[in-house]
Amino acid sequence: MSGPGKPGVVVVTGASAGVGRAAALAFARQGWRVGLLARDTERLAAARREVEALGGEALELVADVTESRMVEAAAERVEREWGAIDVWVNNAMATVFCDFPRMTPADFRRATEVTYLGAVWGTRAALERMRQRDRGVIVQVGSALAFRSIPLQSAYCGAKAALRGFTDSLRCELIHEKSRVHLTMVHLAAFNTPQFDWARNAMGRRAQPVGRIFQPEIAADAIVWAATHRRREVWVGFPAVMAIVGERVLPGYLDHKMARDAWEGQFTDEPLPPGRPDNLYETVSGDWGAHGRFDARAHRWSPHWWLSRNRWVLGAAALAVLAVAGVLLAWG
């Protein structure tokens, strides 16, 4: 980037669907060159066509984020063809809907490697290049579940919590060496993405997000914003705020509430379709796009996110309240 907020080169992992697809398009709309990193060649080609339809440029980077050598090769190709990577977004994830005693060690390992180690390898590939230039931004797409876990997704919750711990540790190291490379985390609430239809599911019923659902474009907007503003963390959606703050205040109460509400709340009454494929080890064919099947329930605007990126409004409101209070006291 030639200056703060100026379009440059970005790599988005998990860019072929869901939040990653929406983020890739959001960067493209602002003039960024977008490296699209994912496993599925069909969806990568579809994502590239969408970027190009917006007037942008895209590179298809076929890679499994659990393979560090593939991630490194993708980063090398981007810099060879386009020059310096300005922003790297670690978004790829995988989950398994299953109670822990029934989950196989192989499934737990795979979900952890995609969600946690995939972000670690992406960070390593980006950081190796950014530290040399003493500039760049790495965006970790986190979750409210990194703070407040729920039942039946122990691998995913553990991986997101691990990513948060890793990022905080690395941030301290960068501060120690006075590096200008910036690390930020974007913690998301529940979003309408295809993951609920292609995640491995041992519970027999179709999965759904818990609580208020938002469209992935809100998450994409937050990711682009975080990439161009030096905020340590960004919380997206008021349910994420309630989960994060609530865990700090009433953790025991939330343990019982999640045990009661989040167990059944993660599933509809519909049975899983027979022979339904999942994407834990292999990709699921078809161009799934950014949205899941919850468009009718998903919100396109988040008041909390608007206030979060426009914090001056809260400051002005507080000053106005103080001014009115001062006038009332003076005339009292």
Contact partners, residue 8, CB within 8 Å, separation at least 6: 1, 2, 32, 33, 84, 86, 87
Element (H, E) at 88: strand 87-90
Are 160 and 115 in contact by the 8 Å Cβ rule? The answer is: yes
CA 174 remoteness from chain centre: 22
CA 164 – CA 184 distance, rounded (Å)? 10
Supply 288's token pair: 């799934």
The residues that are catalytic are 156
- Kindly report the number of other CB atoms within 10 A of residue 258's CB atom: 18
Are 44 and 36 in contact by the 8 Å Cβ rule? The answer is: yes
